[in-house]
Each structure stands twice: as C-alpha cells, then as structure tokens.
A and B are shown apart, each in its own frame.
Chain A
Amino acid sequence: MSEQQSAVSIRNVTKTFPQGNVTALQDIDLDLRPGEFVSLIGPSGCGKSTLLRVIGDLIQPTSGTVTVNGKPARQARIDRDYGIVFQDAVLFDWRTVSKNISLPLEMLGWDREKRKARVAEMLDLVELKGFGDHFPWQLSGGMQQRASIARAFAFEPALLLMDEPFGALDEMTRERLNLELLSIWQRLRSTVVFVTHSISEAVFLSSRVVVMSPRPGRIAGIVDIDLPDTRSVETREDPRFFALVTEVRELLRKRGEHLLPEEEQQLL
C-alpha cells in the first residue's frame, strides 16, 4: 500500500527510552486503510501504548516515520486529525458533560450554535441524553467513558486513538460499550487504532488485530478478522469467532514463550 492511500503509514519506527535503556519499539512497519478498525494487543511492556502515542505525535520516535493521511504525524496533530480516548475517561471535573464534549469543538473555533447542536447529537449517540448538565463525578464509570467517547467522536477526527478505553470497566458494561462503539464507528467510519489486552474484545471489534510481543516491542503477527461487518451479541458465539480468538492466542503464546507466567495468565 502506498503512503498516499494509507490512513496511517508507519515505517521502521524504533523508540528507545534513555532511562533504563529500554527499547519500547523496534522496526515497526504497519499500514492502516482508511476507515479500518485495528487493534493492538500484547502483554504489558510490548509497547502498544507507546506505538499509539507515536502515531498521535505525543511521543517522538527515535527513528522511522509516521505518516497520517499523507502528512507527517506532527502536521496531522496540528490539523487536529486525532481523537483520543484513554483508559480513564479523563473528563475535566470543572466542566459539565456537555462542556466536556464541546471542548475540542471550542478548540476548533466552532460557534456556539454549531457546538450546541453537535453536543446534543453526540449525547444522543452515546445515550447520555438528559445528563448534559451533570458534572463528571455525578456519572458512573461507564457513563463517564461514554462521555469521553462522545468527546473524541464529536469533531469527526480522521483517526481515533483508543488506549484500553474499557480496561477499567466491568465485563458487562464493557461488552455493552463494545457494541455501542461498533455502531458509532459504523455510522461515522473513522479509522480507529484500539489498544487492548483482551483477546475477545480485539477480535470482536476489529477489522485486523496486530499482535505484539515484548522486549523489544515488535509486531509478532497480524490476524485478519473475516467476521461479517455487522456484529452483534451472537457474533461472540460464532465458531469463526472462537477460531480467530484461538489464532490470536496462539500467536501471543508462540511469541511469548519468554513471558513470565503471570504475564501469560493476564492474556489468556
């Protein structure tokens, strides 16, 4: 795939941290198609969050290049092509839910009327209608994370970076939010990079799953998820789903032979 066609093009990216002389990423090459949902999975220390931050120009790679929609990552950041969702909702305590969602719109200089209309739309989309005037502490963890997803999608960024967004939630909330995220993504068709340590979540959501291995962080393999595009609760019971989960797990295990037992436990 040429760099012009790719939503994200990562070439020979290496990142070393001088503290402790850690090689977080080594020779990463990866292309994402526009509108693709790609998960990065791997044990802790495999550099998946680092890679996400390198794509988002929040960390500079030691060597190599990142191109987003045909331009350098830095330019993409200045052009506000990124939406980010972290593991914690990272809402601003001093802003109401509506004001939190409208923050990126304010940064983009949208006028008040336009912001109001979009915030109402987003509240509807993430099923937080009627909670716009609440402060973040008045919401449950799942609702906070929905607000933070609404904030990330609000300005329709070309690329959405999600760093274990549902990692802190209970299993039931997590599965519901997975479905909601998919339906939002299918409507808006942003390119999504999704970091997770849950195999089933990665398979359920993604078009492709990138399996990473640690020390140094490398791509161990890529699994194409050939499940039907519209996914539902039943998808998780599909034999093909189990086959793909197994495939990802095998890749993790094969590359993770040198893992500590508890690290392996965490993945399986």
Chain B
Amino acid sequence: MTILRRARDWTPAIAVFVLVIAAWEGGIAAFHVQQFLLPRPSDIVSAFWTDRHTLWPAGWYTLKEALGGFAIGSGLGIVAATFVGRFKRAGTAFMPIAIAANAVPIVAFAPIFDVWFNPLSPFSKMAIAAVLCFLPVMVNTLRGLQSANPRQIELMRSYAASELEIWRRVRVPTALPFVFTALKVASVLAMIGAIVGEYFGGAFNALGVIINSEAQIFHFVTAWAGILLASLLGLALYGTVVLAERVLVRWAPAAREA
C-alpha cells in the first residue's frame, strides 16, 4: 500500500528524468554535437565505470573533506546559535555581522584558505566547506530555539522547571525541524565547498582536482563522469541527513503523510 503509493508519487519525477536523458542522448546524435561540448549520457556512464580506479577513490577523498567541513561548520553553527540564543546581548552584537558576512562570496576565499592551511592538506578544503555550512545552520538553529511556544514555557515554569530543563524539553525539540532544514542545505553546500576548494589546487587524488585537470587536457567525458560522481555523493550526503531527520523528527509534518 505504502510502497505502491510511494511508487506513484515518484513516477512523474522518474518519467521526466528518463525523458530528459533520452532527449539528451537523441539530440546529440541528431544534431552531431561535438563531444567536447556535450558528451552523450551513455559515454559519461561508461567513463564513470572505466575510470573507476581513479575516480572513485578521489570521490571518497573529497567526500571525507566535505564530511569534515559539514561536521565542523554545522557543529560550530549549532554551538553559536545556542550561545546567541542564551545571551540576548551577544545576539544583538553578533547577528548583524553574521548576516553581513553571509553576503561575502566565501568561495573567493578559497585561495586564501590554501595559504592559511596547506593547499595539499584536506583541512584547507574542510575550512571552505565549514565556512559555507556555518551560517545557514546558525541562523536556522537560532530561529528554531526562539520559536518555542511561550505557553509551553509557562507550563514548564508552573512545574518549577529549571532553564536547562526548559531548554532540553521545549526549546531543543522545537528547534530540531529547523536544524534539519539547515543541515539539508549545508550537506549540499559542503560538497560544493570541497570541490570548488580543490579547483584552486589540492592533492592529485581529489575529485575537484581531477575534474579540473581532465577538462584542461580535453578529457571532457572523464570530467563529466567526475561531476556525475560529485552529484551522487552530494545526494548521498543529503539523503543521509533526510534519513536522520525521519528517525529523529517523527512528529513533524513530513512524517505525517505516512
């Protein structure tokens, strides 16, 4: 029943996907598009397989950078939001600066991070990913912590609950759906941060470096296969966050459809 319904929900998306791929494949044959402009999907997939010995370990290496950056950036974002939410003064001093900082094109800092940290070490990429993740997680977590129902807090006060108990039993559960919304955004940003960081130089076995160098020597099919791998890894990271949300936020609207 549920599986059937889920299949029905996914049918339009799958149909569109298949159509686009078919049009892409057919269009290239029909209009004789040069391979360096746009390779066929089937060529990309086959490169994905034939180059697996270089691509896949590189993907794993870059995924580890993204994961590290995701963990550091999101972790610090949550800690900062907790701090700012607890001390209002700190919030009024800190928030405008944080929001202004969000307008800074972080990616432009990639070469600078490479100087600060060793460009060949994964930490320079983690730093970029972390900076990208930090702000959305912080802003959303803060909003979540501040969204607690004042009546629920009054109720807890009437039970003589301490601030810590109110935090644990009201503020944190209220904030969780907000946090997961931010983590979903951050999971994708982390992968982007790691890859873009690698474009400015990095270890030879990193996915971003391979995509960049393969494109420079006109191995566009391999570059495309690398992009495909990066997308799949980003999706996997996103999917993991969604799964964690399903487990931890069973009460939220997303779970209500079941």
Q: Does B163 contact A (CB under 8 A)?
A: no
Among the stretches B93-101, B150-158, B221-229, the one at the interface with A is B150-158
Set of chain A residues within 8 Å of B249, measured between Cβ atoms? 94
Cβ A94 vs Cβ B251 within 8 A: yes
Q: How far is the CA of A222 from the CA of B182 in the complex (A)?
A: 55
Cβ A84 vs Cβ B154 within 8 A: yes
Cβ A90 vs Cβ B165 within 8 A: no
Q: How far is the CA of A78 from the CA of B161 in the complex (A)?
A: 9
Set of chain A residues within 8 Å of B160, measured between Cβ atoms? 77-80, 107
Q: Mark B130-164, 1 if CB is under 8 A from A, else 0.
A: 00000000000000000001011011111111000
Q: Mark B34-78, 1 if CB is under 8 A from A, else 0.
A: 000000000000000000000000000000000000000000000
Which of under 10, 10 to 19, 20 to 34, or 35 or more describes the interface residues of A? 20 to 34
Choose from A84, A93, A94 the contact partner of B158 (Cβ within 8 Å). Answer: A84
Q: Does A131 contact B (CB under 8 A)?
A: no
Q: Does B91 contact A (CB under 8 A)?
A: no
With A92-B173, A135-B251, A137-B256 as contacts: A107 and B155 at CB distance below 8 Å:
no
Choose from B152, B154, B159 the contact partner of A104 (Cβ within 8 Å). Answer: B159
Q: Does A86 contact B (CB under 8 A)?
A: yes
Set of chain B residues within 8 Å of A135, measured between Cβ atoms? 251
Cβ B158 vs Cβ A77 within 8 A: yes
Expressed in whole angstroms, the minimum distance between the Cβ of B257 and any Cβ of chain A is 12
* Residue in chain A with minimal CB distance to B255: A135
Q: How far is the CA of A53 from the CA of B151 in the complex (A)?
A: 12
Cβ A92 vs Cβ B170 within 8 A: yes
Choose from B149, B161, B169, B256 the contact partner of A90 (Cβ within 8 Å). Answer: B149
Cβ B170 vs Cβ A56 within 8 A: no
Cβ A94 vs Cβ B159 within 8 A: no
Set of chain B residues within 8 Å of A268, measured between Cβ atoms? none
Set of chain B residues within 8 Å of A86, measured between Cβ atoms? 151, 154-155
Q: Does A175 contact B (CB under 8 A)?
A: no
Set of chain B residues within 8 Å of A82, measured between Cβ atoms? 158
With A92-B173, A93-B251, A94-B173 as contacts: A58 and B159 at CB distance below 8 Å:
no
Set of chain B residues within 8 Å of A80, measured between Cβ atoms? 159-160
Can you list 14 residue pairs at the A/B interface with Cβ under 8 Å? A77-B157, A80-B160, A82-B158, A84-B154, A84-B158, A86-B154, A90-B149, A90-B151, A90-B152, A92-B170, A92-B173, A95-B251, A104-B159, A107-B159
Instruction: Give chain A's interface residues, CB within 8 Å of chain B.
Output: 53, 56, 58, 77-80, 82-84, 86, 88, 90, 92-95, 103-104, 107-108, 135, 137, 161
Given contacts A58-B154, A137-B251, 15 further A-B contacts (CB under 8 A): A53-B154, A78-B160, A84-B158, A86-B151, A86-B155, A90-B149, A90-B151, A92-B152, A92-B169, A92-B170, A92-B173, A93-B252, A94-B249, A108-B159, A161-B158
Instruction: Give chain B's interface residues, CB within 8 Å of chain A.
Output: 149, 151-152, 154-161, 165, 169-170, 173, 176, 249, 251-252, 256
